[in-house]
């Protein structure tokens, strides 16, 4: 199976600001760990440099006035009225090159989609992608341009049926919104419940509208959910939906802010549950566009996406993080030399309550969604 790793060192050149939780340097960290583990050895897989997305690419989803305001703040200087578009201090800061950054990420996801659609690769992975909160004319949740939506639209315009699977801790609200009324795209989001986490959406009753009714699937998880229930929720719903929908291409967002060490969410996933789900996605996808996503403990991001890339290539990643990498990044926050986590087990009354809630959601989806596909 041919694979492509869409990457540029330019990803890490941009900076949201020293106090912002999203650190683009995590992308360079991931690439260097993958390289240290010898997972990018020639002749295959291959590293592919992305190009900046064109304005016409961005306008397939985003509004012209929004793109114009993003271009206007690219210098890093605030422009009057930018706050109307979600830009300013806080989650979506104006920083030097913000428009170039957004175009580069979008271009990388579009390149991944093109590589897969043209059969140049069966799997293409853009670790910088997955910015799933951006809306048509609004920056949101650290996201300025919604690259998953652009990649999916690129594929749909070529006549492909697309299934989107999102395992980020945060609900894929921007992607859901873009395809809420169509049956050409099946969107599935597995995330921490909106009762406890931004953006406050993604409840099981959000199932689409019009022709899209039943094609929007949300699996909200209670806070503190661990590996076993995470995998249980996924396996009870997702394979059945994918088998019924029969997509031509699977686009997935592999956010790792679900991890126990992440500072912005409240789940307890480890590399064990994450890798189990990544293997399941691989088994369901004859063509697969994989995107990164959230993740604010940069050491966990690098470890998880390194393991994901190994799975995509049917390679056994090493048990130990290579010494060369540890010497290169002594301050990366690595808590051990191990690439994989030890299992995180939750038992007793807390686990029983969470299991009841997860099974309630599974039952609702089976009764109200599954039969519609």
**Catalytic residue numbers, as ranges:** 133
Q: Any idea what DSSP says for residue 53?
A: P
Collapse the DSSP code of 292 into the 3-class scheme (helix H, G, I; strand E, B; otherwise coil) and give the result.
coil
Query: Which residues does residue 251 pair with via DSSP β-bridges, in sequence order?
Result: 164, 289
Strand order in the sheet with 216-221: 46-48, 3-6, 123-126, 288-291, 249-253, 162-166, 185-192, 216-221
DSSP-derived 3-state class of residue 168? coil
Residue 276 in tokens = 């189990």
118 Cβ contact list (under 8 Å, min separation 6): none
On the CB side of 360, how many CA atoms lie within 13 Å of its CA? 12
E strand residue ranges, the chain = 3-6, 46-48, 123-126, 162-166, 185-192, 216-221, 249-253, 288-291
**Are residues 171 and 194 in contact, defined by beta-carbon separation less than 8 angstroms?**
yes
- Three-class SS state of 276: helix
């Amino acid at each position: 199976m041919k694979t492509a790793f869409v990457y540029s060192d330019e990803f890490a050149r941009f900076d949201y600001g020293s106090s912002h939780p999203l650190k683009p340097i995590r992308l360079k960290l991931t690439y260097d760990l993958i390289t240290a583990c010898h997972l990018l050895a020639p002749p295959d897989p291959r590293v592919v440099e992305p190009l900046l997305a064109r304005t016409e690419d961005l306008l397939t989803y985003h509004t012209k006035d929004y793109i114009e305001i993003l271009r206007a703040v690219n210098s890093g200087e605030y422009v009057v009225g930018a706050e109307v578009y979600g830009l300013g201090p806080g989650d979506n800061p104006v920083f030097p090159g913000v428009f170039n950054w957004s175009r580069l990420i979008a271009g990388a996801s579009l390149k991944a989609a093109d590589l897969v659609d043209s059969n140049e690769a069966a799997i293409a992975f853009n670790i910088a992608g997955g910015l799933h909160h951006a809306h048509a004319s609004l920056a949101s949740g650290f996201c300025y341009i919604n690259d998953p939506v652009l990649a999916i639209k690129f594929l749909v315009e070529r006549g492909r049926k697309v299934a989107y699977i999102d395992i980020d801790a945060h609900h894929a609200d921007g992607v859901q919104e873009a395809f809420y009324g169509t049956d050409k795209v099946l969107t599935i989001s597995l995330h921490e419940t909106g009762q406890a986490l931004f953006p406050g959406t993604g409840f099981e009753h959000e199932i689409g509208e019009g022709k899209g009714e039943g094609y929007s699937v949300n699996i909200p998880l209670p806070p503190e959910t661990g590996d076993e229930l995470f995998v249980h929720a996924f396996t009870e719903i997702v394979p059945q939906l994918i088998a019924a929908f029969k997509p031509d291409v699977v686009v997935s967002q592999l956010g790792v802010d679900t991890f126990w060490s992440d500072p912005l969410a409240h789940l307890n996933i480890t590399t064990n549950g994450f890798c189990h789900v990544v293997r399941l996605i691989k088994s369901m996808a004859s063509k697969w566009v994989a995107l990164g996503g959230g993740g604010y403990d940069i050491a966990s991001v690098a470890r998880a996406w390194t393991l994901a890339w190994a799975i995509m290539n049917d390679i056994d990643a090493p048990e130990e993080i290579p010494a060369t990498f540890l010497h290169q990044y002594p301050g990366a926050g690595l808590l051990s030399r191990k690439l994989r986590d030890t299992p995180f087990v939750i038992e007793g009354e807390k686990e029983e309550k969470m299991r009841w809630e997860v099974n309630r959601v599974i039952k609702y989806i089976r009764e109200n969604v599954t039969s519609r596909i």
